[in-house]
Structure 1
């Protein structure tokens, strides 16, 4: 009867505690406030930018190059940093399952075989009438199992699961951001290689112009109208311009090496990259996300928000550690010295228990942990605001650059046309003896500077357009390679929810 009363008491206590186990201490997560009506971009990008929901998937295809598309696809499949990021994401998702498992009953089995010698004197059996009693020795075989369940009265496990899910969400956003960054770096590197190819080609054309100047001075000298000084001046400019070509070729080799690293291959495996900027289309219009949409789409902003969610849940975990923890459980054991009789009910024993653990004194550790978690949550909130501010500033700067690049490019074209005409007239004037070689060389240098400045402006315009795509491509989620771990349907990894 006592056994029945004890069992009933434990079950009754467990039922009452389970009914009261809906309390979850700590702050509930609230998504950050939406950007204010005053929030916006400093520039509008002129005619080349269109405020919308932002770029879609495969934004790099707007440059109209199948070779570029292939490079990006290979980088997304083969880049080793992305592979590491995807593996880290899988680890975060498995951590969710590990934390969620702690909320379920924990069941363990055990088996033990031992040889024992019982010291009867320890139990007060010293013998009777001076007779010695030998201590018995025997085998003992034990099998059994037990189950325990943490009632999680104040939501420590629930907050821990919330934290793990938010951390996995943050890692997923970080992985998306890594894909976006790698795609942007590949596009930028390909455009840089194209610009270097164009610059080398331009330098070689300029060397041809220098050679024309040398030939022109030599012809005038042979005709008796020129001097050796004029010839040497022209030859000096030719030699000076030749000296810059090896450095450009070295930059091109380094650019190819960087592209190979982004693709996850060795430089020797990279195919020829003889394209120029004319092989790419400069997008006529770039879809730019509205400020109110940017915070919902850009991966680094969403990552910062998920980390804020995780930090908020950590406050709940630290708060719950200040409260009692109650565990229910039971075990069943079979023990006998004869292994053939170990299944007999005669050797059965069981227990049912309810355990209470309450913090009394920990030297202020638990309260300090809670205050530290609250400080970390405030830091995460400030970091989120900083990420948003930097994102708006980045988009604003790139929008302004689009407009200024267009104006500068028009001016560079005009300057190049004027310098081209000036060089032509200077040569004609030199040929008829109306001017000296210095005037021709000055016009030639102006022409070279104008052509190189025009190429530099074109390159910067392409690069700024690509950077703007990256800055506002928050809605883009890459398709993972076949060997990348993907989230199975129904996997519960929710991110921060908005009303």
Structure 2
């Protein structure tokens, strides 16, 4: 009869423990609400939304996301090859990959605390007994397993696992951010190589024209038709224009070296191919996702969200520390002393909780709460900053289009002037110096046009990067691709 009364009591106690085990204190994490903003810069959006009708103009498609490998929009096979090489060989991505795996191992380690801890113990020795009638010396030993289990009644261990999982997400988004930066840098450096090459060719033509001009002025001075001042001016112009080449050569060489480093090689170990602006096509239609979608498209925002998740879990850990810890333990050992031996077992339950700690635990919880608030503000600032970057880039593309139209007008005017001066010289109406001056003006306008086109390309790259470049999820795609390439032994 007595056992019948004990059975419901045991069931009740067990049910209570299970219920308590399911209790996890602290706030559950919820992703911040999406931004209510619908625009980055309405003036730029309106202007670019109606563009694309003239050569060199671009049109944005607001509400459409960047898809696929964004750099392929420039239609350069060389660029595609170098970007793929960089993704495969970049050492920062290799380091980020290893860091993610390290974080995943930390999650597995934290999850271990959710399960019973089983270990094995053994002890042996020799002892002398003094309080017996006949003092004696004997050997003793004990050997057997021990089991311990923290019931995690208030979910402190679960919150620690959650914190580690959020940290792993953080590392994944850092990988995505590194990937995005890498692809943007490769595209930018390739365009700088192409721009430097194009400008150097234009400057070389300009120097050839200056040399012809100087030769003609010297001949005219020898004939007495010009003064030494004219000769000096022609020499000065040639000397000044020669200073244009070294910076362009340095830009080209630095960009090449940067491409080598980005692919995980030294500049002497791998030389990037020469790029030409004619190999690139300026994307006429550029997708631009809505501000409300930005939180899902940019890895730095997702990184800030993961940090917010970690801070939220830290509040849960600090809250759980305010409550008692309930543990269960059991032992089973084979023990012997002297000539006798026995099997020993034991089972125990324990509870430990804070009574007085000088306010330490409450202060730690408040610190965790304040840390969460600071991280939330940082997240919000990251979102706002991303909007500003997109707005700046949209306006840059807008002004690039305006400058491109103005530069085209200047180039056409210089070309017309050059042609008319050639015709006038053929009819004997002006001198060869006037023709050379018109030719020089045309070449300077051509140099300006190259710089404007370079700015258009680079700002387009910056826009793709500011929009996230479809980089979210690339680590998971890389892992899946790597798993598919593993040999199957079946």
Per-residue CA deviations over 1:164-223 (Å, capped at 9, x if unaligned) read: 222211221221121111111111111111111111111111111112212332443455
Contact 1:412 1:454 in 2 (8 A): yes
Q: Name the structure, 1 or 2, with higher relative contact order (CA <8 Å, separation 6+).
A: 1
Could you tell me which runs of 5 or more consecutive residues in structure 2 were left unpaired when the two chains were aligned: 52-58, 485-490
Instruction: Check the 8 A contact 2:328/2:348 in 1, yes or no.
Output: yes
What is the Cα deviation at residue 39 of structure 1? 5.2
Q: Secondary structure at the match of 2:268?
A: helix
Q: How far, CA to CA, are the matches of 1:49 and 1:179 in structure 2?
A: 24
1:96: which partner in 2? 107
Is 1:75 the counterpart of 2:70 in the alignment? no
Comparing 181-190 and 21-30, the one that deviates more: 21-30
The one-character-per-residue Cα deviations of 1:388-407 (angstroms, maximum 9, x if unpaired) are 11111111111122221111
Aligned to 2:266: 266
Equivalent in the alignment of 1:392: 387
SS in 2 for 1:268: coil
The Cα of 1:40 is off from its aligned counterpart by: 4.1
Aligned twin of 1:351: 346
1:193, 1:273 within 8 Å by CA — same for their partners in 2? Answer: no
Q: Residue 377 of structure 2 aligns with which residue?
A: 382
Q: Does 1:365 align with 2:360?
A: yes
Kept in 1, the 8 Å contact 2:297–2:472? The answer is: no
- Counterpart CA distance in 2 for 1:210 and 1:252 is 24
Question: SS of 1:269's equivalent?
Answer: coil
**Structure 1 residue 315: Cα displacement:** 0.5
CA positional deviation for 1:55: 0.9
Name stretches of at least 5 consecutive residues in structure 1 with no aligned partner. Answer: 128-132, 490-499
Alpha-carbon contact 1:207-1:242 (below 8 Å) kept: yes
How many angstroms apart in 2 are the aligned matches of 1:143 and 1:10?
A: 31
Q: What TM-score do you get using the length of structure 1 for normalisation?
A: 0.85
C-alpha separation in 2, matches of 1:336 and 1:13: 36
**Does structure 1 residue 120 correspond to structure 2 residue 115?**
no
User: How far 1:333 moved relative to its partner?
Assistant: 0.9
User: Cα distance 1:477–1:16, how it changes in 2: closer, same or farther (>3 A)?
Assistant: closer
Q: Counterparts of 1:37 and 1:30 in 2: how far apart (Å)?
A: 20
Change in 2 beyond 3 A, CA 1:140/1:251: same
Q: CA deviation at 1:310?
A: 1.6
CA contact (8 A) 1:140 1:335 kept: yes
1:63 matched residue in structure 2: 74
Pair 1:415-2:401 in alignment: no
Q: What secondary structure, in the 3-state scheme, does the structure 2 residue paired with 1:200 have?
A: helix
Tell me if the contact between 2:62 and 2:290 (Cα under 8 Å) persists in the aligned partners.
Answer: yes
Secondary structure at 1:347's aligned position in 2? strand
1:39-438 superposed matches below 5 A: 40-42=40-42, 43-44=44-45, 45-46=48-49, 47=51, 48-112=59-123, 114-121=124-131, 125=132, 133-134=134-135, 136-221=136-221, 224-336=224-336, 347-422=342-417
Q: Which residue of 2 aligns with 1:494?
A: none
Q: Secondary structure at the match of 2:154?
A: coil
Task: Report the number of matched residues.
Answer: 468
Contact 1:87 1:485 in 2 (8 A): no
Structure 1: how far apart are the matches of 2:394 and 2:20? Answer: 56
- Residues in 1 aligned to 2:184 and 2:396: alpha-carbon distance in whole angstroms: 18
Instruction: Give CA deviations for 1:242-265 in whole Å, capped at 9, x if unaligned.
Output: 233223212222221111111110
Note the aligned Cα RMSD (angstroms): 3.2
Shift in CA distance, 168/52, structure 1 to aligned 2, threshold 3 Å: same
Q: Could you tell which deviates more after superposition, 161-170 or 364-373?
A: 161-170
Provide closer, same or farther for how the CA distance between residues 33 and 479 of structure 1 changes in structure 2, counting only shifts above 3 A: closer
1:493 corresponds in structure 2 to: none
Give the structure-2-normalised TM-score. 0.86
CA–CA separation in structure 2 for the residues paired with 1:455 and 1:381: 44
CA distance in 2: counterparts of 1:403 and 1:482, whole angstroms: 35
How far apart are 1:54 and its partner, in Å?
A: 1.4
Aligned-partner Cα distance in 2 for 1:157–1:314: 11
Question: Can you list the C-alpha shifts for 1:348-398, whole angstroms capped at 9, x where unaligned?
Answer: 101100011101122221111101110111111111111111111111111
Residues of 1 paired with 2:107 and 2:224: CA distance? 90
When residues 478 and 315 of structure 1 are mapped into structure 2, their CA distance, relative to the original with a 3 A threshold, is closer
Partner Cα separation in structure 2 for residue 464 and residue 207 of structure 1: 30
Whole-angstrom distance in 1 between the partners of 2:446 and 2:102: 53
What do residues 117-149 of structure 1 show as CA deviations (whole Å, max 9, x unaligned)? 23525xxx5x6xxxxx54x33333321111111
